[in-house]
Chain A
Amino acid sequence: MGPAEIKETILDILEGIAPDEDLSGLKDDVPLREQLELDSMDFLDIVMELRKRYRVQIPEDDYLELATMNSTVNYLTPLMKDLEKV
């Protein structure tokens, strides 16, 4: 999976968590927390969805990497490069 597919995966997950949100205008470099007012329960859900769907383990110390779409994709690229998108 490359960066574009990883971004799609994250968007899928966000759409699942917040089905009422219109994600089309989401900015890649602005914190997700600010744009969607996600709280820490939601961030944990992103982590758990990645584990559930792709068995990707994100250690607690790395949670801050999930701040923006760009930082999330950058962080996940090496971890997910050998995985197929489902």
Chain B
Amino acid sequence: MSSRAAILGRVSAALAGADRVPPPRQEYGAPAAVPDVVGLFVERVEDYRAVVEQVAPQELAAAVARALGGTDRVVVPPGLEGAWLSALDGAEVLVDDGDLSPDDLDRCGAVVTAAAVGIATTGTIVLDHRPDQGRRALSLVPDLHVCVVRESQLVGDVPESVTLLRAAVDAGRPSTWISGPSATSDIELERVEGVHGPRTLHVLLVRDGDGLQSPA
């Protein structure tokens, strides 16, 4: 007998005569009552010792350039809004064509991506790796991650965010949930920022609703 059949057989035998518990009645994706989603998001991202800046759409390119500071080589996903990089001065920009090796990425000091969702309560950014966010390795190997999030992408809490994830999963895309820079608590359960992922997370939160064109 195959192990598959054996395991499934043992499961069925174990459950013979068991009370089958129905799924709980659960309202999925219920919006959280967060009065100030933007304010809370900023506060909670800062809690992780990430950098958060609120910028107007027309200030975004300059803010990206500032955030990248003295980085020589920047990698960006193929679908990134070109205007966001228009104020860069001197840095070499590699647009990922899918062929950059891990070593190539390791030679990039920074990455700029968009995001899919921002979660206020937990201060989390969710990437669903659409073309403006790129494949997973891009936002992982470089040491600085500049991430552009629009206010309209913010939700109150985790449930709304999980609901939004389904479209990405159905499209076969992975997702990465990022809450601050990489960190560890493995030494005496004391939090230290900066292990294998980007050691600096710089979030640019783009205002909307001020009558100006959103960059996307």
Q: Do A and B bind each other?
A: no
| Contact surface of A with B, Cβ cutoff 8 Å | none
| Contact surface of B with A, Cβ cutoff 8 Å | none
